[in-house]
Structure 1
């Protein structure tokens, strides 16, 4: 007998050679029905895996990340099998599971069209009904290469040849289909109940523009039809909220072929962007940050000192100036180090909280560009905190609280992830251990739950990432805190300590919005373009009913503008119903509909974008309410809907 320690700490004794699936059946019939994969001592395995020694055992369902990944990985294999049945000449590239779905890249002379997706989806459903078992097997390296060559799968041969010599080369077989794969998978195709193929795209082999362009098919899958329906409904809502569509309709920004990945901000978009930055400065002034600005272009020597020239050069834009190499900055950190060195520093100066609204440029593959979410030029709300070792924990806690305040202002919930030392890194084991422990202890003292991401830190230090959740349940990585004991060393930063000697400071790199552009894209989709009043490009739209009402509209506009409210007039010779519909499409928070009675009573008839008609009221009353809403940065209209006659 062997002992299995389960997730809840309980211990089960089973016969040696018992499979993970059989253990699930022993626990409960429902668990066996819902189980997707298991994990033995932290290593994910198929349900068919036989356990031969004492171990820690976890069993994952679709709701678990590991379960969903294996479920959708199997779905990608089912899709590849369907494509091979329908288009036998198609060559297979890669087909991983991704967040909320899966994709597979194919090399075929046939140009896929939307109608093909329907055929492939139908064939996938046949494969599911065939209840094909998935069987894992391994081959020696040479045999694996010959096996794939015999099938004409050139891309698989290349993948095998690039694997380390000691790598186990495994395959999964389902019926007449075999794919090179590390796993894991569900036990049978019948588990994949609900499938939907979503879209087509182009993708360079291995993400390299120099390689051949392949055809990528995206899809998703769920164990229940109801879950798929919910997801498809969410996608439809996401389409309506697509920031690229709304950005164009609301004249916020433009994406032009003259600058792929370099967005153009239009007047309306600049209003929103500047309001975000105004808020950022207010929050940071309150938290005792000072603001600096560093150059966009700096020479190669700087980037060699920082390590970016060796670790990040493929993502940097470089140029030659006066026969010397320069680079456009991909991040603000090195410039921040130089700012620190402009003066002698003392321990009494710490903590030094230095913020920068910095313009940065990073080379992204053209296929990865996506509206404002993935660009090549963006504005980062950076800050660097220089401190003593004993101040680390308090400063990290302070940053966590600041980021929490920022996200709550926009109504976002979030979760936290702690990322540790990556394979490519600078620094000693002791430095990394100290840095990681400091971050961990700060999170624990704040009672912030976090997920551990082993090996996903920056090359110069561990980090805390904040993933905010939007109204559609999607998550976005925005805020980050990175503890750095490497750049201070590389730039030879120092301060005079209490003992009169030179010491090296500790540095925190952190952002709250992350990228202003990306954060704005998220906000557009979160609010569906209906910005709260304080952010709206036009807060009040005045709609005179007839030309004779325009002079009074000008009076109202002047009064509101003097109060600091962003206001415009629609002077077009159109019917008032048309003007109201247009203003509603522009998503202006408030409309003032002015006619004869309004002139006579020196009042305004107010219509809310979100509530509808609010009735008639004095101009000052309206202005005071709007200004109160703006000052509080309210996310919802909190207007007093009572008209004057009711008061």
Structure 2
């Protein structure tokens, strides 16, 4: 079992405080929001008397470097709410946070930076700024953010920073950001005609084109081909439900702000638009009396769900209102949990090996300091965690324990995949749930004729299909492997005389289940070839009089360039093998 180092988090957190010092020196009446660490860096929110821009960042960064060189100490002090408010007397946002901490009965601590600056903070921080490499951080950008994410509250200025242990890491990350901009799925999605958004439909509601739909369906087919031999059966559930379903499951109280509500024609016809599939699947299990002989019962659904996200949180396909969830639920006995999870491991391994994305495994458990936000009894959670730990160890899987990252109904195994730029994405998940079956009073008859409560295993191999597509677009920079590419072959004719021959080639390719199009535009040959390259089509076949007479094809690969002349049958044999093996 691996343990993640928190030293870089201390550095990033300390830099956010140094940023606050630099801002207060320039704007003594600035109001402070929050300044947490984030992946690869930190940010701090400020209410400022005037607008600042990215052009102001170099001066602010220069001041932070000067502060680092002063070898400033960070010291923590536990205080009462009144003491905290007195210390931060002119900081209304901090007072709100203090009141919330008091209400939640949590400790209130202040961090002081060498008597220069004191902030409300739980830490942790470096002991002294000499632990911070002044060459390994950089202020990145400025953005706007509503206080507490509430559009009715003040708009704050958010300053982002990057921070690493070494300058080399920082430089590599900056270079990656440049490449990531080129691969942005929002840009490529439009250029490759995969999806679009319409103001008449609404933000966060993607419309998938024919090519985008092929990409979606190809991913779904891949998952189904892997899971159905393991006994998964596809189900379909409605988009609406009575609120009572989520009140029983516990989702209503936990996520009521994220639900869309619908009023029917009757006085009591209130419905919620489905935000997740799992409660519906419990009702399929509960539809009739089950025997132990039916277990494990494995249900799967690419079900569309809806989450009421705030407009500022929506981003391309990464964060949407309409989500196609790659859901599977296994109802089983306790002694079947380990074997089911191991089968899930095999599918997950196969998927991400195919996409050439290395995986890291995380065991996400409850917050040991605050169990109030979770369903069920702690002893049940401890049993679930022990089962997952044992299964991971028996499967010889290295894993990191992430406290506080569990689902509200149970612990889970999360998988993080690294893309071609080295970025990490949370993808697949496996969650063991003893609580939901109990809340729905699910049961089966065991070997002795007694009623037993099944265990429910939630699993997603891809996660949200929309988000996974955004990852794939950026991972491959839009140049998908041939099995995944919406358009696998493009035929280009040199002149109209060969149109009958190109039509014959297309028919032959389509008969072999190859996705093919003919460019019948009036553009020049060079422009047609360039358009195929822009569209990132894996193979382009160039057909002229010479190819027609010889009954051959000239092949151009997107990745390898001109491959010369070949026989069509041999070419089909090669690419159908690549497609079948998902190369």
The answer to whether the superposition gives a TM-score over 0.5 is yes
Aligned to 1:208: 150
Give how far 1:345 is off. Answer: 1.2
Over the aligned positions, Cα root-mean-square deviation in angstroms equals 2.0
CA contact (8 A) 1:546 1:573 kept: no
Where 1:521 maps in the other structure, the secondary structure is helix
Listed one character per residue, the Cα deviations across residues 427-479 of structure 1 (whole Å, up to 9, x for unaligned) are 23332232222111111110111111234322222211111111222211111
Is 1:410 aligned to residue 350 of structure 2?
no
State the Cα distance separating 1:177 from its structure 2 match.
3.2
Provide structure 2 residue ranges, at least 5 long, that are not aligned to the other structure. Answer: none
- Specify which of 504, 512, 531 is matched with residue 480 of structure 2: 531
1:602-641 to 2 correspondence within 5 Å? 602-634=551-583
Q: Which residue of 2 aligns with 1:156?
A: 94
1:353 is paired with a residue whose SS is strand
1:570 equivalent in alignment to 2:519: yes
Aligned residue number for residue 262 of structure 1: 205
Is the 8 Å Cα contact of residues 81 and 177 (structure 1) preserved in structure 2? yes
Counterpart pick for 1:235 among 177, 184, 188: 177
Residues 369-408 of structure 1: per-residue CA shift (max 9 Å, x gap): 2221122211111111111222111112111222112221
Q: Given the alignment of the two structures, is residue 441 of structure 1 paired with residue 383 of structure 2, yes or no?
A: no
Answer yes or no: is the 8 Å Cα contact 1:170–1:181 preserved in 2. yes
Aligned pairs (5 A) from 1:243-642:
243-258=185-200, 259-321=202-264, 322-323=266-267, 324-422=269-367, 423=371, 424-634=373-583
Q: Secondary structure at the match of 2:88?
A: helix
C-alpha spacing 1:161/1:238, structure 2 compared with 1 (3 Å): same
Q: Please, which moves more after superposition, 610-619 or 251-260?
A: 251-260
DSSP 3-state at the match of 1:552: helix
Find the aligned partners of 1:628 and 1:311 in 2 and give their Cα distance: 49
Unaligned runs of 5+ in 1: 1-6, 9-59, 635-647
**How many angstroms apart in 1 are the aligned matches of 2:352 and 2:229?**
16
> Equivalent residue for 1:196?
138
Please tell me whether the aligned partners of residues 432 and 461 of structure 1 are also in contact (alpha carbons under 8 angstroms): yes
- Give the CA deviation at 1:631: 0.9
Cα distance between partner residues in 1 of 2:366 and 2:68: 41
The aligned length equals 572
Give yes or no for contact 1:550–1:571 (8 Å, CA) kept in 2.
Answer: no
Larger Rg: 1
Distance 1:166 1:520 in 2: 41
CA distance in 2, matches of 1:301, 1:166: 33
SS in 2 for 1:381: strand
Aligned equivalents of 1:166 and 1:240: distance in 2?
45
Deviations 1:472-522 (A, max 9, x none): 222111111111122212222121211122222111111100111111111
Contact 2:430 2:460 (C-alpha < 8 Å) held by counterparts:
yes
Partner of 1:224 in structure 2? Answer: 166
Question: SS state of the match for residue 312, structure 1?
Answer: helix
Following superposition, the deviation at residue 223 of structure 1 comes to 3.9
What per-residue deviation string (whole Å, max 9, x for no partner) do you get for residues 328-355 of structure 1?
1111011101111222211111111111
Indicate conservation of the 8 Å contact 2:31/2:93, yes or no.
yes
Q: After superposing the two structures, state which structure 1 stretch, 121-130 or 227-236, moved more.
A: 121-130
- Following the alignment from structure 1 to structure 2, what is the Cα–Cα distance between the partners of residues 621 and 405? 29
Shift of 1:532: 0.5
2:8 to 51, 63, 68: 68
Structure 2 residue matching 1:498: 3-state secondary structure = coil
Q: Distance in 2 between matches of 1:166 and 1:564?
A: 62
TM-score with structure 2 setting the length: 0.94
- Distance of 1:158 and 1:433 partners within structure 2: 35
